[in-house]
Structure formats: structure tokens, C-alpha cells
Amino acid sequence: MGVVFIPLYIRLLGMEAFGLVGLMLSIQALSMLFDLGMGGALNRELAQRVHNSTLAQTIGDLVRTFEWLVWPIALMIVGVVWLASGPMAQHWLHPEHLSRVATAHAIAIMGLAVALQWPSSFYANGLSGLEQQPALNLISAIFATLRGAGVLAILYWVSPTINAFMWWYAAIGACQSIVLAITLWRLLPTEPQRQARFRTKELRTVGRFAGGLVAIMTLSVMLTQLDRVVISAMLPLAQVGYFSLAMSVAAGMGRMIQPMFNALYPRYSRLVSLGQHAHLTHLYHLSNQCLIVVIASAAMMLTIFGKDVLYLWTGNITTAEKLALPLSILIAGTALNGLMNLPYALQLAHGWTGLTITMNLVALVLGIPFCIWAVEHHGIVGAACLWLFINLSFVAIGIPLMHRRLLHREMIRWYVSDILPPSLAAAAVVILAYWLLSPISRDLVGVLKLSLTTGAALVSAAMAAPLVRNLLRRQLINGLSSRQ
């Protein structure tokens, strides 16, 4: 939902106003700096405490303690963005068609929209820690539909303006946060007669781990938003819109990765706390192979057929040609970033944040001058290269460093058995299809060609992953046995 309607948003709002939507996504990411590690700490603590009868009764106090911080911080976000709206419109952004006053007003409403949705991330982490992904997925799907599709009704029948867009996002964000809060409290394993209270002891318990998460989040947000910040400062607002369009496609692939992290991080945490090393090792390799099957097939399609996908999606051949190269680079970077998700989850399950902090810090120090130079000389293509180089270094350097400490002697298996065969299989299928297929037309036949190629890449990647192949074989045998 966050991707499919973007061409309609651009048609109704214009590319410059859509650039403000991209700015909202950046502010939303920057707002996670105020999370203070609470979401990740809550996720890990619930995953470990819920299976301990003694600690389970402290869960309510933990959630209540964090809540006393979450909602005041949301209020603070509103104030910070409101105060910054005027200076940003006057001195930072470069609107050509929107007035400075209209831009500042849109940014102020944007702050409210971001702040009202901000607590939902905290409660989503809680549901994930309880391994209540089905409930979380249902709520997320409902509100993604209301947010992505519902705003079209506002733009068509109420007001086709960026302000109306932002007000709708604010209303849906508030509803999502409230629904997630109610759901989490109803699913907590607490005694009905025991009232949850704010306890400073809970802050001290998770303080060190949360502090590491704050450092990781700060550096990660600065890294992921560095390209947009530099582009918005150096290029016209319309270029921000184009880059946001390409980033939306890349982020769409990222949305396929996030559920894997949400499901496996609490399970890794539980296995670590129970000391089940053999089970953890098997799950680590199986989950990484499942992840690469999805990443490889999607990334190869979007990288090689990027121009065709953009044309089918937007209906604008000029936009497709303009964004084909930066999109391919961004997709490659996002795929490499996706490979790091489960190793990162393993590090957090062990309470180890130092490696990621160091890697992000080095990448940021080197990335700032590179990004300024790249945007100045190569525009949005240069900004896309930053994302690719950062994640390539993470996979090449971060994985060996991690496996020196965690799951020692499993690194070669990760590269050679988990990652390489599915990637090569998916690449071979997509490249062969690119050579054999006639040019992709913008009709049902074109959609069918891309869909069949994607499906073939997915199947070939799954068959090339040993643990996934064995899992599918067992599922097939069990299914046939149950029918007999």
C-alpha cells in the first residue's frame, strides 16, 4: 500500500508536493532518534520474560514505565517540527511552485502526522516480543490500507492538496497507535488484580542495552537519511521527489524483509536465553536461506527490469528512463542491507551492540564527504551509490567480524551455502529472461511476463537453497501423507 498508489499521489499532488511526502518519511525516520532504544529493549525483554513465570509478572511494569516516556516524547516531536517548519521552508528547501508559507504550513502538519504515528512503533515492538505477529500483521495491514488507499478518497473528493494528505495521515496515525496500545495491553500476561506502575528499576535493568540501541539508531538514521538531506539542500525540491519515488520502490522490497526480522528476533532472543545453541544455529541458517530466496528473486527482477517495472507502474516513460539507473543501484544496496538484518538480530539477541555502532560510525564519517561530492557531480545517481557502497562494506566486513564472536565457524557456511547458491540461481533465471523476452509492453501481457519471470526466479532460488529445499520437500511429503 505504501508503494502501489504513489503514481496517483504524484498525479494529484505534483512532483514537488510529493517531495514533501519524501521529506515526511525522512522526518519519520529521524523521529526514531527519540525512541531511546525503548522499542528494541521492550522486544527483547518481553521475548525473554514471557516464558519465565517469575519475570512474566513484571512485564506490565516494564510497558507502563516506557509509556510514561513514549507519549511525552510524541508531544515533543510536534513542537520540534512546528518550530523548525518556518526555517526549513525559508532556508533549507528549494520549492519552485509551492509558496514558502504553504510549504511551512505543510511541514507543521507533517510534524503532527509523524508524532501521532510514532508511538505505534513502540507497541508494535511489544507485540513482536510476545510473538503475536498475526495480530500485529492484521492491524498493520488494515491501517496501511486506510492510510495508502483512504487518502486517495480525500485527494479526489475533498481536497487535492498536500495539507489534506498530511491531515489524513495524522488521523490514521493516531488511530493506529491507540489500537496497537489496546491490543498489547490485552495480550500481556499480567495478573488482573495487579496494577502496572512506573518503576525506575525497569529503566536501570535495560539501560545499558537500550543505550547501545540509541547509538545504533542514531547512526543508522543519519546514514539512511544522509542522501535525502544532502539532495534537499543542494538540488531542487522536484529532484527530492524523484529520489523519493526511487526510494519508495527500494523500500517496498525492504518491507518484505522486515517481517522476517520481526518474527525471528524474539525467537533468537528466547533461544539465546535458554542456551539452545544447536537449535539457534539451525534456525539462523534456515532463516537466512528463506530470506535470501525472497531478496534474490525480487532484487534481481527490480535491478535488471527496473526500467520496465517503473514504466508499468507510473505510465511515464520519461520518469522510468530517468530513474532506471538510480533505482537499480538503490535496489542492490537494499538487497545487501537486507542480508544484514538477521545477523543484526542475532547480535541484539546476545545483547551485543558494539559492532554495529562501530560499523555505522565509520560509514557515516566516510559517507558525509562522499555524499556531498557525489550529489554535486552526479545528482541522485551519486546519492544512490552511497547506499550501495555502505551496505557492500557491511556484508564484506561486518559478517566476518560478527562470526569471530557469534556462531564461530559458521561464516563460510553463511556465504557459500546460505547466500551464494540462491543468488546465482535467481540471477541466472532473470538474465536469461531479459535476453529471451521481447520488450515489455504496458499491458496485461507485460505484467504476465514480469510475474512469470519473478515466479521462476523465486522457485529457482528456493531449489538452490539446501535447507529451504529440504523444508519444502518435507512439507510436500507431509501434505501427501495427510491426504492419504
pLDDT, tens digit, 9 for 90 and up, residues 78-93: 888 888 888 888 877 7
Q: What is the dihedral of CA 337, 339, 340, 341, to 10 degrees?
A: 100
Radius of gyration, CA atoms only, the chain: 23
The whole-number pLDDT of residue 69 equals: 84
Distant-in-sequence, close-in-space partners of 421: CB < 8 Å, separation ≥ 6: 464, 465, 466
The 8-class DSSP code of residue 2 comes to T
Q: Specify the pLDDT at position 53.
A: 67
- Cβ proximity of 73 and 34 under 8 Å: yes
Distance, CA of 398 to CA of 328 (rounded, Å):
23
Whole-number pLDDT of residue 284: 95
Q: What is the mean pLDDT of residues 191-208?
A: 73
Burial class (CB in 10 A: 0-12, 13-18, 19+), 128: buried
Query: What is d(CA 117, CA 173) in angstroms, rounded to the nearest whole number?
Result: 4
Cell output for 401:
567480524
Chain mean position to CA 461: 23
Task: Map out the domains of the chain as residue ranges.
Answer: 1-198, 243-476
Whole-number Å distance between alpha carbons of 462 and 471: 10
Tell me the average pLDDT of the chain: 85
Check residue 399 and give its pLDDT: 93
Please say if the pLDDT value at position 411 is more than 90.
yes
Angle at CA of residue 92, ends 89 and 96, nearest 5°: 65
DSSP line for 432-464 = HHHHHSPPPPSSHHHHHHHHHHHHHHHHHHHHH
> In sequence order, which ranges of 235-353 are alpha helices (DSSP H)?
237-274, 277-304, 306-314, 317-339, 341-349
Chain-centre distance of CA 348, in angstroms? 17
The pTM (predicted TM-score) of the whole model is 0.71
User: CA-CA distances (angstroms) from residue 141 to 40, 114, 236?
Assistant: 22, 18, 34
Query: Which residue has 519475570 as its cell numbers?
Result: 55
- Please tell me the distance from the alpha carbon of residue 171 to that of residue 156, in angstroms, as a whole number: 18
* Contacts for 13 with CB less than 8 Å, ≥ 6 apart: 21, 155, 160, 161, 162, 165
Question: What CA–CA distances, in Å, run from 265 to 1, 124, 307, 383?
Answer: 25, 13, 35, 31
- Tell me if 268 sits within 8 A of 40, measured CB to CB: no
Give me the mean pLDDT over the 149-174 stretch: 90
Please say if the pLDDT value at position 397 is more than 90. Answer: yes
Neighbours of 393 (CB within 10 A): 15
Quick check: 59 and 49 in contact, CB under 8 A?
yes
Question: pLDDT at residue 31 above 80?
Answer: no
Is the predicted pLDDT of residue 254 greater than 60, yes or no? yes
| 293 vs 295: CA distance, rounded Å | 6
Task: Look at residues 153, 156, 164 and name the one whose alpha carbon lies nearest to residue 102.
Answer: 164
What pLDDT is stored for residue 206 in this prediction?
A: 72
DSSP annotation of 104 reads H
Determine the pLDDT at residue 66. 85
Mean pLDDT in residue range 287-307: 91
- Measured CA to CA, the distance from residue 292 to residue 300 in angstroms comes to 11
Cell of 418: 546460505
Instruction: Classify burial at 482, counting beta carbons within 10 Å of its beta carbon; exposed 0-12, middle 13-18, buried 19 or more.
Output: exposed
Residues 27/33/39/41 CA torsion (nearest 10 deg): 160
Give the pLDDT score at 102: 83
Which strand (E) or helix (H) includes residue 89?
Answer: none
Three cell numbers, residue 34? 527519540
- Is the Cβ–Cβ distance between 210 and 353 less than 8 Å? no
Eight-state DSSP code of residue 58: G
Cell of 38: 525503548
Amino acid found at 192: P
For residue 286, the model assigns a pLDDT of 95
Q: What per-residue confidence (pLDDT) applies to 54? A: 67
Residues 349 and 407: beta-carbon distance below 8 Å: no
